Amino acid sequence: MATGSPSPAGDDLSGYLRSFEPPSGIPIQADTVTIGDRKVIKYTGEFWTSRQRQGGSIHEISYRACFKPQLPRFFIQLLTRKGDTVYDPFSGRGTTVLEAGLLGRDVITNDTNPLSRIMTEPRFFPPDITTVEKRLLAIPQEGRKADIDLSMFYHPDTEQEIVALREYLLARKNAHRDDMIDRWIAMVATNRLTGHSKGFFSVYTLPPNQAVSPQSQRRINQKRSQVPEYRDTRRIIINKTKSLLRTLADDEKKNLAKAGKKAMLLSGDAQDTPEIADRSVQLTVTSPPFLDIVQYREDNWLRCWLNGLDEKAIGKRITMARTVDEWTAVMGRVFCELFRITSAGGYVAFEVGEVRKRTIRLEEHVVPLGTEAGFVCDCILINQQVFTKTSNIWGVDNNTCGTNTNRIVVFRKS
């Protein structure tokens, strides 16, 4: 267990999981599975639900393949105490570290995609809404046409406002004058670029965690007989800011700010993180890229444009292995690095998925990777959800393709 005060699980994680009382009332099922030459206990049931504790509003930033805050919260509360360090090497939108910050833990975050920091850092320092309004009024709204064709997404006046905002933010950043209010506005604007309601800058498009290609958007416009209408970008940014702050309590704001001031925010390769000291992390909760299921570069091209980032260069750095052998080679090196930085008694909760229509169960490949790095595999935990909104958006039936099932391999450093 983590050093210091005992966690809720005490010194017996398996005993805790066996006696766990699930919110559904359906008993947890415990089975022993054989993976290679190892026998591992697999616990299956409902350990958390979206209804059990609605994720705080500060998490409501869309990103492909992100897990719900209930997942890291379960492990953070179970396996750490206040002041412990929680890490995510594939941080994405920052769910793990933000949840850790809300709970009073120290945090380290890493992601090879610099968009991750853009989406994560400002939320450690939630602003006052009047400060955001004042800053927005100081930013010009009259601008030029974009340097790329965005007419299929935006009304001409909306496009000018976006370009003016982009030029302001990039000028401040390049002059090293951007502050956390600028970064908050950049984060919100980045996440309001495209979506399926009037709360976004664009005409109707696919779900807000990806930007389709210009060609695909033209087809969507033609199919729906739609023309981009004007959207007030200032008003949308203010409304989203209010939404992000709506459930945030004063003590949570203090916890986030405390964690943010001490946070280590990395944008590098999870296989090599020399900035992180040996044996300094009590808990890692992460979900790595799954083979080539999610096209991070293609999904984020418009977000990169707004923030002056080279999506092609970023795409080359992101692990997009097409075969299990390629994927395990990379993750094997990640596990060696995790073993180095994990404290004695510390844990790694490694969330994986069923991919290729359930023909590949990555946990069967992850167990040997962790144990070969030096960890003990305590268990596989499978959280089964009754329903998710995402499954309906993508036309996926309940409990298929891993959409409603979180599969987490739990390792311990003895």
More confident residue, 210 or 300: 300
Question: Per-residue pLDDT averaged across 76-97, rounded?
Answer: 96
Alpha-carbon dihedral sign for residues 160, 165, 166, 167? positive
- For 257-286, what is each residue's pLDDT tens digit? 999 999 999 999 999 999 999 999 999 999
The candidate with the shortest Cα–Cα distance to 284, out of 114, 72, 83, 94, is 72
Work out whether strand 281-286 and strand 376-384 pair parallel, antiparallel, or are unpaired: unpaired
Cα 335 from Cα 346, distance rounded (Å): 13
In three-state secondary structure terms, 243 is helix
The pLDDT value given to residue 16: 86
Query: Dihedral through CA 74, CA 387, CA 188, CA 127, nearest 10?
Result: -40
State both tokens at 249: 């309590």
Cα 156 from Cα 153, distance rounded (Å): 10
The torsion region of residue 65 among left (phi > 0), alpha (psi -120 to 50) and beta comes to left
- For 153-175, what is each residue's pLDDT tens digit? 999 999 999 999 999 999 999 99
Cα 83 from Cα 107, distance rounded (Å): 9
The pLDDT value given to residue 398: 42
Query: Dihedral through CA 393, CA 186, CA 293, CA 311, nearest 10?
Result: 140
Cα 405 from Cα 287, distance rounded (Å): 13
Measured in whole angstroms, the distance separating CA 87 from the mean position of its chain's CA atoms is 12
Question: Per-residue pLDDT averaged across 198-220, rounded?
Answer: 89
More confident residue, 390 or 210: 210
The candidate with the shortest Cα–Cα distance to 38, out of 365, 289, 391, is 365
Question: Per-residue pLDDT averaged across 11-37, rounded?
Answer: 85
Assess whether pLDDT exceeds 80 at residue 366: yes
Q: Angle, to 10 degrees, between the axis of helix 233-245 and the axis of helix 156-174?
A: 60
- For 89-146, what is each residue's pLDDT tens digit? 999 999 999 999 999 999 999 999 999 999 999 999 999 999 999 999 999 988 789 9
The candidate with the shortest Cα–Cα distance to 167, out of 200, 145, 194, 195, is 145
Q: Where are the domains of the chain?
A: 13-117+250-296+319-412, 129-243
> What letter would DSSP give residue 58?
G
- For 285-317, what is each residue's pLDDT tens digit? 999 987 655 555 567 899 999 999 988 887 777
The pLDDT value given to residue 381: 95
CB 140 within 8 A of CB 163: no
Q: Read off the pTM.
A: 0.90
Residue count of the chain, please give it: 414
The pLDDT value given to residue 291: 66
Q: What CATH homologous superfamily does 13-117+250-296+319-412 map to?
A: Vaccinia Virus protein VP39 (3.40.50.150)
The candidate with the shortest Cα–Cα distance to 283, out of 116, 380, 110, 411, is 411
Alpha-carbon dihedral sign for residues 20, 24, 25, 28? negative
10 Å CB burial of residue 346 (0-12, 13-18, 19+) is buried
